[in-house]
Structures are given as structure tokens and as C-alpha cells.
Structure 1
Amino acid sequence: MIVYGGSALVGAASVPRLLPPDNIHDLLTVAARIANVLFLGLVALATVTRLVPIMKSQGIETRVSALLGTFLSIALAFLPKAELGPIWSAVPTTLILVGISLSIVVLRWLGKSFSILAEARRLVTEGPYGIVRHPLYLCEGVALVGMTLQVLSPLAVLVAIMVVTSQYRRMINEERILRQAFPEYAAYAAVTPFLIPARPRRSANQASEELSTKAIDPQV
């Protein structure tokens, strides 16, 4: 909470220095900075108000992947920005703005179930979580692409790959603990894509019936 709250305050203090914006890129930068402050503040609030976990993952790997996935992308902010010109500079800034704004929406749905480590609090299956099982990571991925394009260097690409790898392991670890804590997760996962929307969502009842049929007759 202290890390996110402090980062939100630092970000908020930097906004006045960006005003007034001189062009569309500066305007997008201000909007992205404000969205980031709101997101960090919301994360800090969620950390304080979240439910007590009913089950936690064990092992060093789950903690390392969660921490790297959460904080490693910050390194991109300290790398020198590429000279892209005013028009092309607007593209990564727009991706960052869209990614962070959508992350705010998803985090509002996740609410008191938010966690950094792989922990089970309450199963959320509606809203963005009715479209894909990991919408927050998808939205953060959009912002990550924008941050990487702002730097556009081999080191930035390496950092991005490490973040994506850590986030993938983080999703796998979270799914494992959710399956253990919530028996209904299997039916939810059967009708909801992992990360990328790919098909119309079937009902949970249909999935439950299919899973029951397969359990009775593995050849189905």
C-alpha cells in the first residue's frame, strides 16, 4: 500500500509541471499521467480494503513471478526515450492511456479480491471477467506495449519479455490456487477464454453439464 500510495502522490505532484499542454501528444501525456495516478491510488485503496485470503499459494517461484510481473516494468520509465517525432510519439502514449484506463475499469470489478501474490479471496466471474479470465493482465499488457515503444531499444524489449514471462507464470499460479479454492472455477474456465477474447461465452450450466458428462464418460 505504501509503495502504490507513494507512487500515486509522486505522480500527482508531477502533473502541474506538464500543464498547459502545447500539443496533442502533451495532452495525451497529461491524460496518461492522471490515469496512472488514479490507477495507483485505486490499487492502494484495494490493498487496504481487500478481503482476507481463504487460500494462499506456496513456494518461492510464485512470489518471485508475482513481484517481477508487478514491478519490473517500472524499469522502462528510467530508460531514455526514443526520438519518434510528435506523431509517432502519440501512438505509444495512446496505448499507455488506453491500457491504464481499462485497468482502472477492471480493478473496480475486481475490488476486494485484488492481490499481488497468488491468493484466493472471492471468485469474480462477471463484467470484464466474463470476457476473459485475466482481463487486468491483458490491459496492463497494452500499457506495457506502449511503454516499450516509447523506449524502443533491445534492453526495453528484454525487460518487456521478462515482464510477459513473469505475468504468464503469475496467471498460471493464480489459476492453480483458484481451482483449489473454488470448485466452480472449472466450469467458469471452460466457458471463458484465458487471456484473448476468442469465442462467444457459453453458460456456466452448459459447461458444468459437459464437465459432468466427461467425468462419467471420458470418451465424450
Structure 2
Amino acid sequence: MKTQVKTSRMDIGRLVAAPVFALLLFFSARGLLGGLSSLFPLDAAKALLLVHRLLIVAFYVLIVVLYFMRTAASSTTRSIPARSIAVGASFLPFAIPLAGGASDASPVVMLGANVIMASGMAFALAALFALGRSFSIIPQTRSLVMHGPYRLVRHPLYLGELVTVAGFVLAGVAPAKVLIFVLLAACQVYRALQEEKLLAAMFPEYEGYASRTPRLLPGVF
């Protein structure tokens, strides 16, 4: 069965997903401004938390901008599960705050969690910059990106998101949060595999790139 199809000129993501991310941007920016007073006076943990929140706002800004700048897709997956899991995985992290787990971790643990969250978000933002006009949620092809974080792993955006969510889990460990993280990791691996099918079919040079670049974890996977 074919895994790809030529995409129509209408950009559904621009019509549907862009407004959703614009709404997330609004709430993130409002939350950042509304919570500024609670972050002062700054200490190391609060400074990292502030950086993380700023990075989230920048992340959503860039996504909205890229939806209106991106080029037309040259191919898109036909798989309904691939489309559904891609969309679901994009919003699954929002279930973390609803999964319980007291945020009464020690200052050292909270500092570590904030370091992880800020680092993951910074890496994801760098990956999004590198991806540029080739950004999409569902598996599609536009261009083969091999620079920036893509020199290190084939799916740095997913890696950055997983690291960020791991920080959230660490800040208030609960079984449900761990389960959500495991489910998210499985979904991201599935997304990566589906995207690779399209990229390998569209770009002959992808095989060489994949042979020298790990998928998500250097030396592991």
C-alpha cells in the first residue's frame, strides 16, 4: 500500500491548526505575564522556570509564523492512524497537569526539573528553527533538513519535547504522569517511523543521512 499522496494546494493545517496554536500562544503569554510577580525575587530555580515559560511562548510564536510561511507539501501520509497519532501526540502533554502528583519536591529536585524542562524546550525550539518552512504535525515531506540539531538526531523536535515532558514528570512524580510520558514516547517513535517512510521514498539521499544519524538517542536508537 502506498504511504504517500500528492497534497492539494489548500493548507488544512494553516486553516485549522494555526488558530489552535495561536490560542495556545495567547494563554501561554497571559499565564507568563500573570505569573511574573510570583517568580520574584528570582533564585536559580525560578530563573530557569521563567526561561522555560519564555521559550514556550517563543515556540508557539514560531509555530504560528511557520504555518503561514511553509511551502506546499510534496507528499502526505495516507494512513489515518498516522495522522491521528500525530495530532494526539502533539496535544498529549497537556494531560500532564491533570494527572495528579504533588509538586512538593525538594529544591534540588525542582532545580533539576527546571533545568531539564528549559533544556528540552530550548532544544525543541532550535529544532523548529532548523525545520523552518518544512514544519508539519502530520507526516509530510517538503525538504530534507540535515542541519542544526538535525545533524545530531533525525528527530530533534520530538526529543526536545520528550525531555521537556520528562522535566514536568520529575517535578511532581505520579503513576499517571509516568504513563502519559511512556505513551507519548511510543507515539513519537511511531510518528518518526511514519515520517521516515515518506522521506526515504521522496529523497534518495535520506538513506545515507539515516545511516550516519541516530533517530532519537545517539548510541542507543
TM-score (norm 2): 0.85
Q: List gaps (5 residues or longer) in structure 1.
A: 200-220
CA deviation map 1:2-32 (0-9, x unaligned)? 1211111211112232235233322222211
Cα separation, 2, equivalents of 1:18 and 1:77? 20
SS in 2 for 1:176: helix
- What is residue 192 of structure 1 aligned with on the other side? 213
- What is residue 55 of structure 2 aligned with on the other side? 35
How do residues 199-210 of structure 1 correspond to structure 2 at under 5 angstroms?
A: none
Q: Aligned residues, how many? A: 199
Contact 1:21–1:30 (Cα < 8 Å) also in 2: no
Are 1:3 and 2:9 counterparts?
A: no
- What is residue 21 of structure 1 aligned with on the other side? 40
Cα separation, 2, equivalents of 1:73 and 1:178? 26
Deviation at 1:142, TM superposition (A): 1.0
- What is residue 143 of structure 1 aligned with on the other side? 164
- What is residue 7 of structure 2 aligned with on the other side? none
Structure 1 outlier segments of 4+, above 4 Å: none
How do residues 38-77 of structure 1 correspond to structure 2 at under 5 angstroms?
A: 38-77=58-97
SS in 2 for 1:56: strand
Contact 1:56–1:118 (Cα < 8 Å) also in 2: yes
Deviation at 1:95, TM superposition (A): 0.7
SS in 2 for 1:152: coil
- What is residue 125 of structure 1 aligned with on the other side? 146
Contact 2:52–2:114 (Cα < 8 Å) also in 1: yes
Contact 1:79–1:151 (Cα < 8 Å) also in 2: no
Cα separation, 2, equivalents of 1:53 and 1:140? 23
- What is residue 122 of structure 2 aligned with on the other side? 101
Deviation at 1:60, TM superposition (A): 1.5
CA deviation map 1:27-61 (0-9, x unaligned)? 22221111111111111111221111000101211
SS in 2 for 1:33: helix
Deviation at 1:127, TM superposition (A): 2.0
Cα separation, 2, equivalents of 1:59 and 1:191? 28
Cα separation, 2, equivalents of 1:173 and 1:77? 29
Give the share of equivalent positions with the same residue, in percent. 30
SS in 1 for 2:208: helix
Q: Which amino acid aligns with 1:7?
A: L
Contact 2:126–2:148 (Cα < 8 Å) also in 1: no
Cα separation, 2, equivalents of 1:127 and 1:27? 26
SS in 2 for 1:82: coil
Q: Which amino acid aligns with 1:117?
A: I
Cα separation, 2, equivalents of 1:194 and 1:26? 33
Contact 1:103–1:139 (Cα < 8 Å) also in 2: yes
RMSD, aligned α-carbons: 1.6
Deviation at 1:140, TM superposition (A): 1.3
CA deviation map 1:82-105 (0-9, x unaligned)? 310323212112111111111111
Contact 1:50–1:113 (Cα < 8 Å) also in 2: yes
